[in-house]
Amino acid sequence: MTALRSIRQAGIDITRVGVDIPASVGKYVDAVLEVPTSTTPARFAVEEKGRAPYPNELHQLEGRRAALCRVGHPLLVVPFVLETLARIFH
């Protein structure tokens, strides 16, 4: 997984974990990653895509986000985000 490799190359200690993922969410989750913290590990439900969503697709992400929250913090990994799209999230 590209995200896991990139995060490890950045020097962050991260672990891929196996968890029971509800079937309704499983089609979106490519991996579940945990990052150790001083208290409890932070768990991320990762969805990796080949491109960022187009502005007209953003409404589709809300349902996905809610579903992924059942597994961990939603983390969408894409190779590049246009500045205009980044402004929408900022």
pLDDT tens-digit profile of 11-22?
A: 888 887 777 787
> Residues 49-66, buried b or exposed e (16+ Cβ, 10 A)?
eeebbeeeeeeeeeebee
Domain count, the chain: 1
- The three-class DSSP label of residue 26 is helix
Domain extent at residue 12: 2-89
pLDDT tens-digit profile of 58-78?
A: 888 888 888 888 889 998 888
**pLDDT at 36 (0 to 100):** 83
φ/ψ region of 63 (left if φ > 0, alpha if ψ in -120 to 50, else beta) reads alpha
d(CA 16, CA 8): 11
**pLDDT at 1 (0 to 100):** 65
**pLDDT at 51 (0 to 100):** 92
Position 50 pLDDT exceeds 80 = yes
